[in-house]
Every structure is written in C-alpha cells, then in structure tokens.
Amino acid sequence: MIISSKKNVFVNKKNDRFVLMISRSILAVFLLSLSATCFAQEGFKFGPSVAFISSRTHVLDKLPDNYNFRFKSGFKFGFTAQYGFTPKFVLGTGLSFVNKGYRVFNDTNSKGNLLKSNLSHIELPVNMIFKFRMGASSRMRFLLGGTLNYQIKTNEKLLVNTGETFVIREKNEQQIYPMLNTGVEIASENKAGNVFVFGIYYSQAFSNQSVLHISGSKTASSDIFALGYRGSYIGIGLSYLFDLKNFKKEEVFFY
C-alpha cells in the first residue's frame, strides 16, 4: 500500500510538472510579446487548419502498481477565420472536428495489456491573437482564448481485452464543456497577403469529460480504481489563411 501511495504521488507530480512546463513556456512568450513592438494584419482572413494532438487521462484517487497511462495521439481539422481590428490585435474563431483519446495499460496482464479509445468532438474557439515581428515577412504570434467543446457521442462505452480480464467502462460526464486555449505561432505572409501559420497549442479543460471505471471483468460489481479524462491536449498545427481581398473582382471601366 505504501508503494502504491508513493506511485500515485509520483504520477500526480508528473501531471502537474507537465502542465506547469507548458504554462510557463507560453507565459514567457506572452510577456516577451508585451515588451515587443506588435504588428497584426488588419482585415479579414480565412482558410483551412489541421493539427496533430495528444491527450491522456489523469488520476482521480489511486493508481495500482501494475497500471499506468500514456498519451494517445489524435487529430483535428477545420477552418479558421481571423479579423485584424488594429495593428496590434486580431480576433480569431473557426470550427473544427477533433478526434482525441487515451491509453491505459495493465502491465501484468498476459491476455491483452492495453486498452485505448478515441472520442469525436466539435470545437468552436474564440481567440485573441497578438503579434510581434521576427523578420521582414515572419511574425511571432501569441494566442489566448477559449473553446466550446461538444462531444458527438455520449453513450457509455465498454472496452474489453481478449481474455475479458481488463475492462474499462467509459461514462460521459459532460457533453458540452469549455476549455482554455494558449499557444505560440510563427506566421509567414506572402506578397498576396496570404499567411502560412505554424503553431504549438495547449487546450486545458477544468472538469472531467468522462470517468473511466476500471475492473477485472465485465461482471465485476466494483471497480479496481477509476481515472478521469478531461480532454485537455497539446498539439502542433498548420493553417493557411487567405486574404479576402484576393477574391474581389476587379472593376472594369469602359470609356
């Protein structure tokens, strides 16, 4: 029991250190952006966006010695729209389909030691974007905002290994929940005014989207332990934003 308790403390510390590391890095860039001269493209831009993301569960109470969890890869794609109100401020939004999930391991189970799941969501973000110049055409961008997350399917899911000796009952807690967005981007603008953006992003939820009840069989009357899944994730994304002015037809005058 003492070993299990120490392991739980270690896992919780790893979770806290990971979130703290991401938060400090993004905060450092934000403070730098406040002290730098900012430039933002004014006007309306829109275009497609894609991202590779990774998420995982977290410990609710205890984690037995023979169980652990790791990051599960996922993806998101959709469109982004941004409007530059001033040379220093841009407001961004969009709509994305997101597929994210988790992996849970039972290290001592010889009949299948891994159970994993991906969940589908729709995201509607609203972000504030601040920019400062890095070069003649490239700009660093800091992003801060929020996302309304909608889980498409909320029915209870049952995950079972081959020998039915490792079972996860996934119960949804919330179908709609908010998330906090932070990120840093590098944007490169071409002569036509279109912008290519590469970014690193972190989205944090503050309550459980789902609770994972883990047991040793499908007929077990009680859980061995439970894990929480908030749906928070870190990601690397790309987007290409078109300048709306490029789609306007030139007026032709006849004399």
CB atoms inside a 10 Å sphere around CB 25: 14
Model confidence at 146, pLDDT cuts 50, 70, 90, reads: very high
Q: Provide CB contacts within 8 A for 250, sequence distance 6+.
A: none
Check whether 101 has a pLDDT greater than 90. yes
- For the record, the structure tokens of 229 come out as 């899944």
Residue-averaged pLDDT of the chain: 82
DSSP 89-137: EEEEEEEEEEEEEEEEEETT-TT--EEEEEEEEEEEEEEEEEEEESSSS
Q: Cα separation of 206 and 218, whole Å?
A: 30
Domains in the chain, CATH or no CATH each: 2-247 (2.40.160.20)
- CA angle 248–252–254, rounded 5-degree value: 170
- For the record, the structure tokens of 68 come out as 């652990």
Q: Which of 40, 74, 45 is nearest to 201 (CA)?
A: 74
Q: Is 159 helix (H, G, I), strand (E, B) or coil?
A: strand
Check whether 34 has a pLDDT greater than 90. no
Q: Provide CB contacts within 8 A for 178, sequence distance 6+.
A: 146, 147, 148, 149, 205, 206
CB atoms inside a 10 Å sphere around CB 183: 22
Q: Which pLDDT value is given to residue 3?
A: 45
**How confident is the model over 149-169, as pLDDT tens digits?**
999 988 889 999 888 889 999
What dihedral do alpha carbons 241, 242, 245, 250 form, nearest 10°? 180
Residues 105 and 9: beta-carbon distance below 8 Å? no
